Each structure stands twice: as C-alpha cells, then as structure tokens.
Amino acid sequence: MLKGKTAIVTGSTSGIGLGIARALAQSGANVMLNGFGDAREIEALRADLARESGAEVGYHGADMQRPDEIADLVDAAARRWGSVDILVNNAGIQHVAPLETFPEDRWNAVIAVNLSAAFHSTQKALPLMRERGWGRIINIASAHGLVASVHKAAYVAAKHGIVGLTKVTALETAQSGITCNAICPGWVLTPLVQKQIDVLAAQEGLSPLLAKQRLLSEKQPSGEFTTPEEIGGLAVFLCSAAANQIRGASLSIDGGWTAQ
C-alpha cells in the first residue's frame, strides 16, 4: 500500500516508534529511523527491518532537542528518497516529580523533545508534502494529551500541546491531500514505562508483576497494555485512503483509560 512513499519516524530505535517503523516498512514505505542507542545495535535493527520488509531503511541520529539536526534529518530523507510523505513525530521522554520540585532542565527537555520537535519537523516537511499534494503527519500524543495525572507537569503540558498543534496543522492543510492526526496511547510496555514500573516496585516493595498490575489497574480498564504493533496498525490505517477525511483527530488506543 505504501510502496514508493518515504516515512520518517522519530524515536524509532525503541518501543512505539520501532513498532510504527516496522508496520510502515512492512506496508512498503522507505523508512528513516531515528533515535538514540548503541550504534551496532541500531545498525543490526536497521538491517533486520530492511531484510524482513524488503523496504529501504535508513538511520539518522538527529537529537530532537536541536532544530538544526531535525532539519538535517528531513533533508537527509528527502535527499535519499526524493521527498518526505509520512512524518511520525514519536520521540518522547518522561520526568516524574511534584510541581514544586520539578527541575527546570527536565521541564525544558520534555517540552523540547515531546512538543517543539514536532513543530520543527512539521515546518520542514510540509513544503515537501505540498509539492506532491499528499502527506500524512502523525503525532504520537498520549492519554495524557487528553487528561492529566499528578507529577507529570511537563509531559501532560507537552502532550496537550501536541494535540493542539495537530489541530492547527490539520486546519492549515484541510484543503489538500495532507492530513494530520494524533494517536493517544494508554500504557504501552516500553522502556519509558518500565522505568515507572521499577520506581513503583521499589517504592511500594512490590514484585515486578504486581507493580505492572497496579499501574494498569489505576488507569487502564482493560487491564492489558496497548502494544507497539497495535499502534503501528493504526498508523498504517491513517496512511490509507480510508483515512483521507480523518483530520485533526485525537485517536485513543488506551484500553478505555479516557472513557472513564
């Protein structure tokens, strides 16, 4: 379905981004991976993804806190494959602390990676999409883009912000073949969430299994984690013709979290 299209997935060396990159590559898109990690492991990941999908897969190590590197990421994909058709703004970090003691540098980093990066990448990729009259911008927000939790001031602010950015992008592209939507996952068992499970287990003296169950039972009525594969499937659907008129939406994939 996506043969001949070029996709950038930020933060795709792990977790949800990797699940989305895999789903897009399996649908035929050329994919530019991005994110941090061990260089040899990333190269192995890139080669595996290319082999299993038959798509072309590249890697660019841009730091999503740096607008100049984000511009270079978009340029690199366009140079290699001629354009950028699908942009998935997924890179994200978390910091958990009460407001009064929330460190300023963590606030700035979370806002930069989880919100400002999507502004910079969208600004750079949109003209390329307009040239071809087709595009898909998919912003990975969160249940925390729709509702809040304690001790996540920067994350909740950034995720609510990206839901707003999604709507503006959708309106400014409404009369074109370019759509922009947000995906709002609930708990997904990735390294970002594993850290929070480890803290909970240590604080409450719980086993890893009980800590996972506690985390889910507090928020996610299904009692099950959303998976990167499920989110990848939703991203591919948003790239399909059936999704042509889904614009500016925030699609929950959260086991019922925000239905409460």
Q: How far is the CB of 212 from ligand NAD (least distance, A)?
A: 12
Region 193-222 residues binding ligand NAD, contact defined as CB under 6 A:
193
Rounded-to-integer distance, Cα 99 and Cα 33, Å = 34
Closest distance to ligand NAD from the beta carbon of 260 (Å):
16
Task: Name 52's Cβ contacts closer than 8 Å, sequence gap at least 6.
Answer: 22, 25, 26
Does residue 71 bind ligand NAD (CB under 6 A)? no
Q: How many angstroms separate the CA atoms of 31 and 73, rounded?
A: 12
Number of residues that bind ligand NAD (CB under 6 A): 29
Taking the CA atoms of residue 231, residue 91, residue 193 and residue 97 in that order, the dihedral angle to the nearest 10 degrees is -140
- Size of the chain, expressed as the number of residues it contains: 260
Per residue, what are the HEC states of 88-108? EECCCCCCCCCHHHCCHHHHH
Nearest distance from C-beta of residue 34 to ligand NAD, angstroms: 6
36 binds ligand NAD (CB under 6 A): yes
Kindly give the pairing relationship between strand 6-9 and strand 250-253.
unpaired
43-51, 96-104, 186-194, 198-206 -> range binding ligand NAD (CB under 6 A): 186-194
Residue from the set 23, 24, 84, 113 that interacts with ligand NAD by CB under 6 A: 113
- Which of 5/159 has CB closer to ligand NAD? 159
- Considering the complex, what minimum distance in angstroms separates the CB of residue 109 from ligand NAD? 8
221-260 binders of ligand NAD (CB under 6 A): none
Nearest distance, CB of residue 214 and ligand NAD, angstroms: 15
Dihedral angle over CA of 167, 113, 240, 252, nearest 10: -70
- Minimum distance from residue 207 beta carbon to ligand NAD (Å): 20
Is position 14 an interface residue for ligand NAD (rule: CB under 6 A)? yes
Beta bridge partners of 137: 87, 180
**78-107 positions binding ligand NAD, by CB under 6 A:** 90-93
155 given a catalytic annotation: yes
- Locate 106 and state its tokens: 């963590």
Task: Check 59, 81, 107, 155 and give the catalytic one.
Answer: 155
Q: At what angle do helices 117-132 and 67-81 cross, to 10 degrees?
A: 30
| By CB under 6 A, residue 65 contacts ligand NAD | yes
Under the binding rule (CB under 6 A), the answer on residue 8 touching ligand NAD is no
Q: Reduced to 3 states, what is the DSSP secondary structure of residue 183?
A: strand
Helix (H) or strand (E) holding 198: helix 191-204
- C-alpha span between 8 and 208 (Å, rounded): 34
Q: By CB under 6 A, which span of 99-107, 120-128, 146-154, 182-190 interacts with ligand NAD?
A: 182-190
Binding stretches for ligand NAD (CB under 6 A): 11-17, 34-37, 63-65, 90-93, 113-114, 140, 142, 185, 187-188, 190-193
Residues identified as active-site = 155
